[in-house]
Amino acid sequence: MRSITKLALGLAVVMPVQAMEQHMDAMPVAKLAVDHLEQRFDGDDQALSWELDGTYGNDLHKAVLKSSGERADGGPTESSETQLLYRRMASEFFDWQAGLRHDDQPGPSRAYAVLGLKGLAPQWIELDANLFVSERGDPSLRVEAEYELLLTQRWVLEPKLEYDLALDDDRDLGIGAGGSTLEAGLRLNYRVSPQFSPYVGYVWEKTYGRSADWLRAEGEHDEEGAWVLGLRFWL
């Protein structure tokens, strides 16, 4: 009888705690993560580059607003991309995501539908893979992979790869079918706190295929690199 009473008392204590934990997990949370806010140095040329996303929701589903771009010092914005996504848990490590993307840049702007997958691949590699279809019906693919290598409790080395592949021509934007762009970055972060890290690094970008041919025909470079100095933080 005593054991039954103890069991009943234990359940009476544990079950409300578990219910409260589940309720806390389901509560929506707002977060702003600035992945990169950096100044890029390429010889005498400098540019401000940014990549950030704001989220609101819980582990099961959330709304996401993403912004990235680059602006030359004393010049125009060279690229600006905004995405509004709905993200839903697909498994323990991956989320499905779908939404809209809008590019605003010198030249014609473009709107895209987005369908993708984001999460942690084996070896704790952060993976973000998306299919884009423009308002003109032009499809393209993008895959981003990022990894954090903990050197010490403070120093973190962050390699990152981004690969864009066009599946159709968009001559107005200088993008050719089968043309692709590969960007590789290596950043060394110093964690002042878990939420704040200044860093230095290097970013290299190469364009291939028909897109590269069109760049060279216009007298532009199909390969470039820049040293970077920036901040990474979240709120």
Residue-level pLDDT at 202:
98
Residue-level pLDDT at 179:
86
How far apart, in whole angstroms, are the C-alpha atoms of residue 62 and residue 32?
13
Please report whether residue 18 resides in a domain.
no
The CATH number that applies at residue 163 is 2.40.160.40
- 194-212: average pLDDT: 96
Please report whether residue 50 resides in a domain.
yes
Residue-level pLDDT at 8:
45
Please report whether residue 132 resides in a domain.
yes
Domain that holds residue 157: 29-234
- Quickly state the pLDDT bin for 24 (edges 50, 70, 90): very low
Q: pTM for the full model?
A: 0.86
Please report whether residue 10 resides in a domain.
no
Please report whether residue 188 resides in a domain.
yes
Dmax (CA) of the chain? 89
Digit-coded pLDDT (tens) for 70-91: 999 888 888 999 999 999 999 9
Residue 112 has pLDDT above 70, yes or no: yes
Q: How many residues does the chain have?
A: 235
Residue-level pLDDT at 23:
46
Number of domains, the chain: 1
- 56-75: average pLDDT: 94
Residue-level pLDDT at 25:
60
Residue-level pLDDT at 19:
43
Residue 105 has pLDDT above 90, yes or no: no
Please report whether residue 1 resides in a domain.
no
How far apart, in whole angstroms, are the C-alpha atoms of residue 81 and residue 130?
14
Please report whether residue 5 resides in a domain.
no
- Quickly state the pLDDT bin for 7 (edges 50, 70, 90): very low
Q: How far is CA 202 from CA 52, 66, 104, 191, in A?
A: 19, 23, 26, 18
Please report whether residue 11 resides in a domain.
no
